[in-house]
Structure 1
Amino acid sequence: MESKSPAKLEFAVQMTCESCAEGVRAALREEPGVKSFSVDVSREEVLVESALTSAEVQALIESTGRRAVLKGLGGSERDLGAAVAMLAGVRKIQGVVRFLQLSEERCLIDGTIDGLEPGPHGLHVHALGDLTRDCGSCGEHYNPFGRQHGGPADAERHAGDLGNIVAGPDGRASFRLEDSQLKVWDVIGRSLVVDAGEDDLGRGPPPLSRQTGNSGERLACGIIARSAGLFQNPKQICACDGVTLWEERDRPIAGKGRRKADAETPAAHL
């Protein structure tokens, strides 16, 4: 994975006056990772073009005291497709991972996963979108060309090999990856899995190194589903439970206040 390309992120932001908007503008203006932005008070909308993670941009906006919800992602080219995976698993692990096709050659993977043990964890797209036996029925790594397992920068790798994400001391992994082998249109209907251990990228002891990366137990997984791009998500209320997006925003990704069933309908997937 190479240098990061900017993506456009559409946020709903609670703003009631021009001074609210100016506070948001000031926060974004001071961040060198933000390429451009626009703020519309009447629509309570902020559009940001940045190479930062969506979590980092959201934190910038919310540093002004305004709540924000990511409603859509887009690239600088035409709409090439977007997808989302809602991850759930053992020990209350929950996460939201989004896929955006930036160009014919580059796919953006942007996510936040909570409840992990601190340290590196393997992340892979698996061949099957089957959760009948939880993560055990997701199949093997997505590998349409019959290659050996490797790292994301390797030519010889599974298409689903995304390397490692790193959880901090609080158990949260927030990441933004770009990949040249993965395509959104190929992974919709498949699954995304995060593992207990570090992926050795095919450089560890055989035989599992060249098959799975020796990354251990599958901790959490979710089916990759088509999602809204820019300006394609007008909802203000989640149809599944009737709460507003602001009420849903206040629910944690994981832990107290979010049941396992809630993971299918967070604000990020309205």
Structure 2
Amino acid sequence: MKRFIAPVLAVLFIGACAHKEEAPVVAAPPPPAPTKAQAVLKTAAKGSKVKGMVHFTEENGEIKVETMIEGMKPGPHGFHIHEVGTCEGDFTSAGGHFNPSGKKHGAATAEERHVGDLGNLMADRKGKGNTTITMKGSLSGPEGIIGKSIIVHKNKDDMKSQPAGNAGPRDACGVIEAM
């Protein structure tokens, strides 16, 4: 019996120690950050005719914002990126202005401003707001705007009232989505 136990134990021991060398797992590089996004606007109030699209293109640390909006009353309308990407009911679901740096509300060109402060969108006498503005920022990352919402307000942003410029009710809202 002793003769059979030793070879069997040796085979078991050697088999247990043998292992196959596996190739290291190499992670795929992360996908490139999006450079384009859009928001399709919907209206808050029954009877309102505000509708349109907003396109965003990121290049060299800036975002070009192109608006194609109609159905507004002629004149200026507060225009902001809000912190939550939800457009329900009267659009208060979108939260306040997107402000990851904790700054005061201001004009789109001011040093002290929310990331989401875009100034006023001007509607012509036919109620159309087709314009292009450029803002500092990014579509993705900690201060990125993808997943946030964009709001067109019923009234003019006065650029000074805190915390939101006294621009009145939210007239239209769209969630900013990568393209």
When normalised by structure 1's length, the TM-score is 0.51
Q: Which has the higher contact order (CA 8 A, sep 6+)?
A: 2
Asked if the contact 2:90/2:170 (under 8 Å) is kept, the reply is no
Aligned-partner Cα distance in 2 for 1:144–1:169: 36
Partner of 2:4: none
Asked if the contact 1:83/1:99 (under 8 Å) is kept, the reply is yes
Paired residue for 1:111, among 67, 86, 110?
67
- Following superposition, the deviation at residue 184 of structure 1 comes to 1.2
Greater share of residues in helix? 1
Partner of 1:99: 56
Asked if the contact 2:77/2:156 (under 8 Å) is kept, the reply is yes
Asked if the contact 1:80/1:102 (under 8 Å) is kept, the reply is no
Q: Which of structure 1's runs of 4+ aligned residues deviate more than 3 A?
A: none
Q: Confirm or deny that 1:135 pairs with 2:87.
A: no
SS at match of 2:113: coil
Partner of 2:163: 211
Post-superposition Cα deviations, 1:139-180, rounded to whole Å, max 9, x if no partner, equal 000000111100011111000000011101111010100011
SS at match of 2:94: coil
Aligned-partner Cα distance in 2 for 1:120–1:131: 22
Q: Which amino acid aligns with 1:177?
A: I
Q: Confirm or deny that 1:221 pairs with 2:173.
A: yes
Work out the percentage of aligned pairs sharing the same amino acid: 36
Paired residue for 1:85, among 24, 36, 39?
39
Listed as ranges, the gaps of 5+ residues in structure 1 are: 1-77, 203-208, 228-270
Aligned-partner Cα distance in 2 for 1:142–1:165: 17
Aligned-partner Cα distance in 1 for 2:49–2:108: 28
Q: Confirm or deny that 1:165 pairs with 2:104.
A: no
Aligned-partner Cα distance in 2 for 1:137–1:80: 25
Q: Which amino acid aligns with 2:35?
A: G
Paired residue for 1:196, among 131, 137, 154?
154
Post-superposition Cα deviations, 1:54-80, rounded to whole Å, max 9, x if no partner, equal xxxxxxxxxxxxxxxxxxxxxxxx985
- Following superposition, the deviation at residue 92 of structure 1 comes to 1.9
Q: Confirm or deny that 1:155 pairs with 2:107.
A: no
Asked if the contact 2:37/2:146 (under 8 Å) is kept, the reply is yes
Q: Which amino acid aligns with 2:106?
A: G
Partner of 2:80: 124
Paired residue for 2:139, among 174, 184, 191?
184
RMSD between superposed Cα atoms in Å: 1.5
Listed as ranges, the gaps of 5+ residues in structure 2 are: 1-31
- Following superposition, the deviation at residue 102 of structure 1 comes to 1.6
Aligned length: 142
SS at match of 1:210: coil
Asked if the contact 1:107/1:183 (under 8 Å) is kept, the reply is yes
- Following superposition, the deviation at residue 108 of structure 1 comes to 0.3
Post-superposition Cα deviations, 1:16-60, rounded to whole Å, max 9, x if no partner, equal xxxxxxxxxxxxxxxxxxxxxxxxxxxxxxxxxxxxxxxxxxxxx
SS at match of 1:107: strand
SS at match of 1:132: coil
Partner of 1:175: 131
When normalised by structure 2's length, the TM-score is 0.76
